Structure formats: structure tokens, C-alpha cells
Structure 1
Amino acid sequence: MTTSRLEGRIAIVTGAGCVGTGWGNGRAVAVQLAREGARVLATDIDTGSLEETVAMAGAAGGNIEAFFCDVTDEASIRTALSHCETVLGAPDILVNNVGGSAPGGAAELSREAWDRQILFNLTSVFLTCKAVLPGMQARQRGAIVNLASTSGLRYTGAAQAGYAAAKAAVIQFSKVTAVQYAPYGIRVNTVVPGQLHTPMVENRLAGQRAGGNVEALLESRVKRIPLGFMGDGRDTAQAVAYLASDDARFVTGTEIVLDGGMTARCD
């Protein structure tokens, strides 16, 4: 359902492209916020993919401004923020969606791969919040939604120590930031997706975990989910839109877990 509950809001969504055709988390979030009335700065390092995001938004694409941003680079983040303020206005909403896993446990993961995982999944969240928070504090309002992963809550079937550690840290970073900035009218929450069926499954994870066998990977993922099916990026987008809106005005420092009951299982 499309509403106008974000009418007049300005949002920055990082990682709003997609690794393939379809509804990745960032793309779905950017489009959902735009459809609900927000003017969205959709950022990614893949500008071609951003163009597809705008096209898939249909009539709401007019509310989306695509812009290159490398969220591991402070200068790039400052440029994107400046562009947002100049073209759209000061952001009321920040959604940190950038992330990605690398296989390997503590002994197998190289130091370089570990550092990249922390930079990509955690430091990027810190850097974007660091850039946006002073302005939100001055305006006495704001909503930040960070995306983590159920890998940050429990072992989910694949050894990915760097990714799991970074995503667990995102959850705690969000809690600390939420409490610190609550007196300034800023809310900070986390969406924690589980076994979703996004384009990343076919384009990246199948090669990492199932020798390229997409069907085998999908079957193994569904078996972990009590509801018996996988959600997708649109489920993530609905949760983010709620947390970004005034419907969640009394919600901060917490998480919405989107996993079909997977982490509630004791086996």
C-alpha cells in the first residue's frame, strides 16, 4: 500500500543500486520511501544500477535523485551530503544499507579481508552517521535506520566471521547512538534481515556457498525458516519506511528482525 506519511521528508539511502535485476534491499527502500512521498537521494558506487532503480520506481522516480557515493570514503560522503542539501534539502532520514559478506572463519579469513569487511559493513555506517548527525541535531529531528543481518545475532549456517562481527556491531552502535541523540529528537533503529531472496542470492551467494547451484542454495535457506518461505527486499522496505515515519515516533534503540522466525528457533 502506498501512503503519503513521508510527504515533505528528505531521505538519503545508501546502496540503493542492486547487484542484479530485481528488488535488492537498498533499491526497494529507496523506491518505497519515494512512493510514500519522500524526496530521496539514492546513492551507490554503481550509477548504472541507480538508473535502473529510478526506472523501477515508475511514477515515484521523480522523487529520486541518483548520486554516486562511496560510503567508505569520508570525502565522498561529504560530497553526497552537500549535494542532497543543495538539490533536495537537509536530510530528515538516513538509511544505511551498504553491506556484503565474505566467507571465512577466524583462521581462514585474511587480515585484509577482515579489514575490508569491517570497513564496508561497519565503518561505513559510522562515517555516514558522523556526517549527518550534526545537522539533524541542529534541527532537533531525524530518523536513522541501519541495516544489519541475522548473522549478527546467531550463526546462520556459513562461517563469515568478519561479516557477522560487523553486523553485530551495527546493532550495538545503533543502540548507543539512539540513546545519545534521543534528547535531540533523533531516532536510531536497526532492521535485521534474515534469509531473504534478493538478486544477491543468484549473483553472489550461490557461487560462494553452493558451487553456483541456485536451487540448492534456495532450498537450504528455506529449510531454516519456520514460515516456510523467504521474504525479499520489499519486506525490508516496509520495515524501514515504518521506522522512518512518525508512525514509529516512540520507537528508538531497537530492532525489527525480518527472518520468518528463523532466529527464534532453538535448533
Structure 2
Amino acid sequence: MDSSARDPLDDDGLTGRAAIVTGGGAAGDGIGNGRAACILLARRGVKVLVVDRDGALAGRTVAMIAAEGGQARAFTGDVTDDDTCKAMVAAARAGFGRVDFLVNNVGIGSKGPVTQEPLGDWQRVLRTNLDSMFLASRHAIPAMRETAGGGAIVNVSSISALRPRGMTSYAVSKGGVISLTRAMAVDHGPEHVRVNCVLPGAVYTPLSYGGGMSEQAREQRRKASVLGVEGNGWDVGMAVRFLLSQQARFITGQVLVVDGGQTLVGPARDHQG
């Protein structure tokens, strides 16, 4: 049969591959964006290096994957450090023999305009949200070329990059993630490395409810979706898995907004939290 006539859904190209997912832990058994991506990739036969600054949280994700029969290893480290990112990629190569995918999912928030935010906080947000992706990618891309002949990267940004509201340094860092995504897509496309970006909206994750979110605030976030439903980490994880798969083989340098339509409506219905 002509391969062009085959249903592309028959093979998503994930089984037997290896991925690095930063920020892959979550509190308790909660499902954050990173943990969801790890579990969903493992369910499709991907070997996952779960990276988190808190080794216990990464270990819990690994245990959840193992309970389903998947393969994963934990790596503890701060991905704002260049040596740590180098060691992270080396650990994936040593453990899995290859590196096919990278999910850059580390991020922290901020509040306030430039006139109020301390310089140290501004620098910490940009270092965590943007430098981490630069450092992880600069070590992962050569490994992809050498071990797999190419690969795919998904960077996790935020709709705050499109509609900043009271979180200036966070919005700037997430806007930088979009630009970094596009630049890497152009630079490394000829090396068969695709790079895309996911922009989550106000999804319900351990990071959001861990801050003591009230039920009223949670309801406001749900109503911000034109669909009237509450998004969660699984929604983001599924978007990540799609962009890494062969089903997205002709997609690179693109931004996928996962927000239930939140950015389509006016501020009266918007609540980024």
C-alpha cells in the first residue's frame, strides 16, 4: 500500500522514543501540566526523564508511571543552572540511549508593574522562566541530532504573553518563550528539530490550588472559558503530546493556545488568577 494513503493516526511515532520533561513533579498525586505530559507520553511508550528541583515530587511521578507499566526515571536539579542541564541530558542519554523530545515546563509567577516589582524578583522570574528553556535546549538539541537524527521540543508559555494583566515580569518572560520558540524553530529546523509552544489559560493544577484558591476564584476561572468548562493539566499535557508526535510532523514554530477560548472574550469575562 502507498504509505501516503495510510491513516496517520495509525502511528503517532512515540513508542520507543525518549523524552526529558522539566517541572515534571506536582504536589501529592495532583496533576500539573508537567506531570500530565509525563504520564501521557509514557502511556504511548515513551521513556521519560522526569526532572524537578524537588526529587520527591519527580519520584512520585515516576511511581505513577511505573504503576501503569510505563518507563521513567527521576532527575533532581535546578534547570536554571547550565551544569545541571548538561548533566540532565547526559542522564537521559545514559539511561535511555537517546533523546528525542524535550518539554520545557518550568515556570514561576509574579505580580505588579515595573514600578513596584523588586529588581531581584524580576531577574529571578526571567531566569526561571526563560533562561531554563535556553539552557535545557542548548544541551538537548545536540543530543537529539546525535542520538535520534532530530527531535521535537515543546515550550510551555502562558496566555499572559498575549494578555498581560498585573504580572509584568511573568508576561514578559512568557512572551520571550514564544520568541525563543520561533527562533529555535528557524535555527534548528534544517537539523530536523521541530520546536513549538503551548499557551495554557487558567487551568486548575496543584500550583494554582496549592496557593489556597477559593471556590469563588475557581468558579471565576471556569467562567472565563467560553466553553464554560474548567481546564486542567491533562488538557495541556494532551496538547504537548500531540505537538511531539508524528501527527504534528509538519508543524513547527507555532503557538497552540489551550484556554477554552478565554483569550477570545473581553476583560469582563477574563480571570487569569
Q: If the length of structure 2 is used for normalisation, what is the TM-score?
A: 0.89
Distance 1:248 1:75 in 2: 32
1:90-109 equivalence runs, <5 A:
90-109=98-117
Partner residue of 2:41?
33
Kept after mapping to 1: 8 A contact 2:65/2:71:
no
> Does 1:142 pair with 2:151?
yes
Distance 2:182 2:83 in 1: 26
Partner SS state of residue 250, structure 1? coil
Kept after mapping to 1: 8 A contact 2:12/2:246:
no
- In the TM superposition, residue 103 of structure 1 has moved relative to its aligned partner by 1.6
Kept after mapping to 2: 8 A contact 1:55/1:61:
no
Letter in 2 for 1:154: R
Kept after mapping to 1: 8 A contact 2:205/2:233:
yes
Partner SS state of residue 98, structure 1? coil
Partner residue of 1:180?
187
Partner residue of 1:162?
169
| 1:20-45 deviation digits (Å, cap 9, x = unpaired) | 53100111111111111001111101
Distance 2:68 2:91 in 1: 20
> Does 1:232 pair with 2:232?
yes
Question: Which segments of structure 1 move beyond 3 Å, counting only runs of 4 or more?
Answer: 58-62, 137-140
Q: Point out where structure 2 has 5 or more consecutive residues left out of the alignment.
A: 1-10, 268-273
Kept after mapping to 2: 8 A contact 1:20/1:203:
no
- In the TM superposition, residue 78 of structure 1 has moved relative to its aligned partner by 1.0
| 1:217-248 deviation digits (Å, cap 9, x = unpaired) | 21221232111122111111111111111111
1:63-74 equivalence runs, <5 A:
63-74=71-82
Distance 1:233 1:61 in 2: 21
1:4-153 equivalence runs, <5 A:
5-60=13-68, 62-138=70-146, 139-153=148-162
Kept after mapping to 1: 8 A contact 2:23/2:50:
yes
Cα 1:26–1:122 shift into 2, 3 Å: same
Kept after mapping to 2: 8 A contact 1:5/1:37:
no
Percent of residue pairs bearing the same amino acid type: 40
How many residue pairs match? The answer is 256
Partner residue of 1:210?
none
Kept after mapping to 2: 8 A contact 1:95/1:146:
yes
| 1:105-126 deviation digits (Å, cap 9, x = unpaired) | 2111100000000000001000
Partner SS state of residue 57, structure 1? helix
Distance 2:28 2:254 in 1: 31
Distance 1:67 1:256 in 2: 28
Kept after mapping to 1: 8 A contact 2:17/2:45:
yes
Letter in 2 for 1:148: S
Q: Point out where structure 1 has 5 or more consecutive residues left out of the alignment.
A: 207-212
Distance 1:33 1:187 in 2: 17
Distance 2:70 2:224 in 1: 39
- In the TM superposition, residue 136 of structure 1 has moved relative to its aligned partner by 2.5
Distance 1:58 1:232 in 2: 22
Cα 1:4–1:137 shift into 2, 3 Å: closer
Letter in 1 for 2:157: A
Partner residue of 1:189?
196
Kept after mapping to 2: 8 A contact 1:78/1:131:
yes
Kept after mapping to 2: 8 A contact 1:5/1:36:
no
> Does 1:171 pair with 2:178?
yes
Partner residue of 1:209?
none
Partner residue of 2:6?
none
Kept after mapping to 1: 8 A contact 2:89/2:143:
no
- In the TM superposition, residue 58 of structure 1 has moved relative to its aligned partner by 4.8
Distance 1:180 1:69 in 2: 27
Letter in 2 for 1:171: I
